[in-house]
A and B are shown apart, each in its own frame.
Chain A
Amino acid sequence: MAEMKVNLCGIELDNPIIPASGTFGFGYEFAEVYDINLLGTFSFKGTTKDPRFGNPTPRIAECPMGMINAVGLQNPGVDKVISEELPKLAKCFNKKVMANVSGFAIEDYAYTCERLDACEQVGWLEVNVSCPNVHGGGMSFGTSPEAAAAVTRAVKKVTTKPVIIKLSPNVTDIVSIAKACEEAGADGISLINTLLGMRIDLRTKKPVIANKMGGFSGSAIFPVAVRMVYQVANAVKIPVVGMGGVSSAEDVIEMMLAGATAVEVGAANLINPYACRDIINDLPRVMEKYRINSLSEIIGGVQ
C-alpha cells in the first residue's frame, strides 16, 4: 500500500502535493472542477497589506517548455482576504491552507503575517522574500542573507504558526540565504520562486511583457529547481518545500529525493487545471514502479 503522508513543520499532509501560490487563486476556480480536499494543501494567492492591481498587461509570455509572468502580486489585500476569500474557501476546503505573504517593507510582512496567523484556517505562513524592498533601493529582500533574515525575524516575532520562507533563485549563493533564514528562526524553506526572464517580439521589437521582465516558470526550470533544493536541503535542518517546473508524479519523487519534504506544483495548473489531481492519482503507480512504500522515507534519499 502506497503511503503518501508527509509531515510538514508539525502538520500532517495526506500527500506532499501543494499547488503553488499564484497558480491556484483562492481555490474556487479549481473547486468547480474537482474536490480540492484531495490535495495535501495549497498555497493561496500572494497577499499583501494593501490591495494591489499589479502590473499593466500583457503580463504573460510563452517560452519553450515554460512561460513568463509579470502579474505583479494582484490581490485584494489582507483585510479582504480574511473577510471575503477565507470564508468562501471554507465552503470548499476543510484542510489547513498555506498563507502566502508578500511585502515591500519589513513592517508590511509582519503586519500581514500577524493578521493571517490569527486565522483558524491557516496552517503555515509562506513568506515570499522575492519582492523589492522599497526602503532598500528596490533590491529584493531575498537577494541578501541579512535582509531575508530580517524579514524572518520580524515575522517570527508576531506569529505562532510555522513560517516557511520562499526563496528567490536569482541569487549568487542560495545556500547562504537559506542558512540565514534558518538561523533567524524559519521553520521551513520553500524554493524556487521564478527565474527572472524576458522575451522580445520580433515584429514590434518590444518586450512581450509590459513590465519588460517577469518570472520564468514551467517544465524548463525543473533541473535548476532540483539542483537548488538539493543544495539547500543539504545545508539546513528545517524542512524544504521543493518547487519549480514540477508537472508529473515522477517529478515529485525526484524533488523529494533531492531533499523536499513536500512539493509545490505551479505553472502546470495553468495548462491542465487537473494537474495536481492527476499527479496525486498517479503517485501510487509510480511509487510501485520504483518500489517506494512510503514517500516520507525517500526525502533526501539521493545517493
Chain B
Amino acid sequence: MKQGFYTVTENTALTSSVYRMKLEGDVTGIACGQFINILLDGCYLRRPISVCDVINTDREQAIVILYKVVGKGTEKMAALSIGTTLDVLTQLGNGYDTSCSGEAPLLLGGGVGVPPLYLLAKNLIAEGKKVSVILGFNTKDEVFYEEEFKALGADVTVTTVDGSYGTKGFVTTAMAEKTYTYFYTCGPEPMLKAIYSASNTSGQFSFEERMGCGFGACMGCSCKTVTGYKRICKEGPVLVKEEILWQK
C-alpha cells in the first residue's frame, strides 16, 4: 500500500455509463490485477477501482482506470474536472500472476470486469505469449476497449447477450470454441461461476466485494476458500480456481 496524490488528466465517457480516467502521478510498483482506492469529497469510504493500465514514459506517468457509473461515488467521479487532485491509495491487493499462463492464455472479461485484463494482456504479450481475449457485454452500445486490446496484438472476440454485436451469447459461448493453456477472468459472479464450470484448465479469477478499508484492516470483504479465510482486498482480489469455494 502506498498513498499518493494524483491529478485527473482525462475523464471521458466510453459508453453511456463507462468512463475512462487518467490519474497522473507515481506509478511505481503497481501490478496488473491490483486496484486503487480513491478518496472523494462527500463520500466517507474510499472507492476501490481496478487498474486498467499504467503509463510510464518519459513524458507521462499515469494510472488509467475505467469505471461504470452505478452509484453516488462513481457519479461524483464522472463529474470530476481535469486538474482535480485526488488522494489515492495504490498497490492494493494481490493481482494476476502471469508466470502460470503457458504459451496461449485466454482472458475473459464481462462488462466492467474488462478493465484489469488490459494491463494483464499487455504484460502477457510483452512476455511473448499468444493472448486471446473474449470481451462480453449485454448489447452493442455497451462495448468498449475492443480496439485497444486488438492494438496490443491480442486475438479479440466480442460477445453480446442480445447478438447486436459480435458473437451472440455469453463469454462461455465463445470460450467453447477456444483452445488455451490457462485462463484469467474478471466479471460478474454468475459469469465467473459459468467459466469455473466450463473451463478445462486452471485459471485465475478476480472478485469484487464491498470494502471498508481496502488494505486488510477491517475484515469487511472476507471470503471462505479451500485454503482458509481470505480478504478480497489483501489476499485477493485474484484467487486461483482450485482455492475457490462458491458461497451463494
Q: Using CB atoms and an 8 Å cutoff, list the residues of chain A in contact with chain B.
A: 22-25, 29-30, 32-33, 45, 53-54, 56-67, 69, 71, 74, 208, 218-219, 269-274
Can you pick out 10 interface pairs between chain A and chain B where the beta carbons lie within 8 Å of each other? A23-B217, A33-B2, A59-B212, A59-B222, A63-B44, A69-B220, A74-B222, A270-B218, A272-B39, A274-B3
Complex formed: what's the CA distance from A272 to B218 in Å? Answer: 13
Complex formed: what's the CA distance from A33 to B92 in Å? Answer: 13
Inter-chain contacts of A67 with B (CB < 8 A):
44-45, 212
CB distance from A91 to the nearest CB of B (A): 17
The answer on a CB contact under 8 Å between B213 and A270 is: yes
Contact with A along B236-248 (1 / 0, CB 8 A): 0000000000010
CB distance from A81 to the nearest CB of B (A): 14
Inter-chain contacts of A273 with B (CB < 8 A):
1, 3, 89, 213, 215, 217
The answer on a CB contact under 8 Å between B209 and A58 is: yes
CB distance from B233 to the nearest CB of A (A): 10
Interfacial residues of chain B within 137-196, with CB under 8 A of chain A in the complex = none
Given contacts A29-B215, A32-B1, A60-B210, contact A218 B44 (CB under 8 A): yes
> Interface centre among B219, B220, B221, B222, by most A CB within 10 Å?
B219
Complex formed: what's the CA distance from A83 to B240 in Å? Answer: 28
Complex formed: what's the CA distance from A53 to B209 in Å? Answer: 16
- Checking B44, B72, B215, B224 against A65 with a beta-carbon cut-off of 8 angstroms, the contacting residue is B44
- Checking B1, B2, B44, B247 against A271 with a beta-carbon cut-off of 8 angstroms, the contacting residue is B44
Inter-chain contacts of B220 with A (CB < 8 A):
57, 59-60, 69, 71
Inter-chain contacts of B125 with A (CB < 8 A):
none
Inter-chain contacts of A208 with B (CB < 8 A):
210
The answer on a CB contact under 8 Å between A57 and B209 is: yes
CB distance from A24 to the nearest CB of B (A): 6
Complex formed: what's the CA distance from A63 to B43 in Å? Answer: 8
The answer on a CB contact under 8 Å between A61 and B210 is: yes
The answer on a CB contact under 8 Å between A270 and B3 is: no
The answer on a CB contact under 8 Å between B217 and A25 is: yes
Complex formed: what's the CA distance from A53 to B228 in Å? Answer: 10
Complex formed: what's the CA distance from A65 to B234 in Å? Answer: 25
Inter-chain contacts of B222 with A (CB < 8 A):
53-54, 57, 59, 71, 74
- Checking A25, A54, A60, A219 against B211 with a beta-carbon cut-off of 8 angstroms, the contacting residue is A60
CB distance from A75 to the nearest CB of B (A): 8
CB distance from B68 to the nearest CB of A (A): 14
- Checking A24, A25, A30, A271 against B45 with a beta-carbon cut-off of 8 angstroms, the contacting residue is A271
Top 8 closest pairs, chain A to chain B, by CB: A270-B213, A60-B220, A58-B210, A74-B219, A29-B216, A60-B212, A60-B210, A71-B219
The answer on a CB contact under 8 Å between A59 and B217 is: no
CB distance from B237 to the nearest CB of A (A): 13
Inter-chain contacts of B43 with A (CB < 8 A):
62
The answer on a CB contact under 8 Å between B39 and A59 is: no
Does B46 sit within 8 A of A, measured CB to CB?
A: yes
Interfacial residues of chain B within 34-83, with CB under 8 A of chain A in the complex = 39, 43-46, 72-73
Does B14 sit within 8 A of A, measured CB to CB?
A: no
The answer on a CB contact under 8 Å between A56 and B247 is: yes
Complex formed: what's the CA distance from A219 to B43 in Å? Answer: 12
Complex formed: what's the CA distance from A45 to B216 in Å? Answer: 12
Inter-chain contacts of B2 with A (CB < 8 A):
33
Does B86 sit within 8 A of A, measured CB to CB?
A: no
Inter-chain contacts of B217 with A (CB < 8 A):
23-25, 29-30, 269-270, 273
- Checking A32, A33, A61, A71 against B218 with a beta-carbon cut-off of 8 angstroms, the contacting residue is A71
CB-based nearest A residue for B224: A53
The answer on a CB contact under 8 Å between A22 and B210 is: no
Inter-chain contacts of B211 with A (CB < 8 A):
60
Given contacts A57-B209, A66-B44, A274-B3, 18 further A-B contacts (CB under 8 A): A25-B216, A25-B217, A25-B219, A30-B217, A33-B2, A53-B229, A57-B223, A58-B210, A59-B212, A60-B210, A61-B210, A62-B73, A63-B44, A65-B44, A69-B218, A269-B213, A269-B217, A273-B1
- Checking A32, A56, A69, A74 against B212 with a beta-carbon cut-off of 8 angstroms, the contacting residue is A69
The answer on a CB contact under 8 Å between B218 and A22 is: yes
Complex formed: what's the CA distance from A269 to B46 in Å? Answer: 12
Complex formed: what's the CA distance from A23 to B216 in Å? Answer: 9
CB distance from A148 to the nearest CB of B (A): 26
The answer on a CB contact under 8 Å between A271 and B209 is: no
Inter-chain contacts of B210 with A (CB < 8 A):
57-61, 208
Complex formed: what's the CA distance from A64 to B2 in Å? Answer: 26
Complex formed: what's the CA distance from A108 to B200 in Å? Answer: 47
> Interface centre among B212, B213, B216, by most A CB within 10 Å?
B212
Complex formed: what's the CA distance from A208 to B72 in Å? Answer: 14
Inter-chain contacts of A274 with B (CB < 8 A):
3
Complex formed: what's the CA distance from A241 to B198 in Å? Answer: 55
Inter-chain contacts of A66 with B (CB < 8 A):
44
CB-based nearest A residue for B229: A53
Complex formed: what's the CA distance from A214 to B219 in Å? Answer: 14
The answer on a CB contact under 8 Å between A74 and B221 is: no
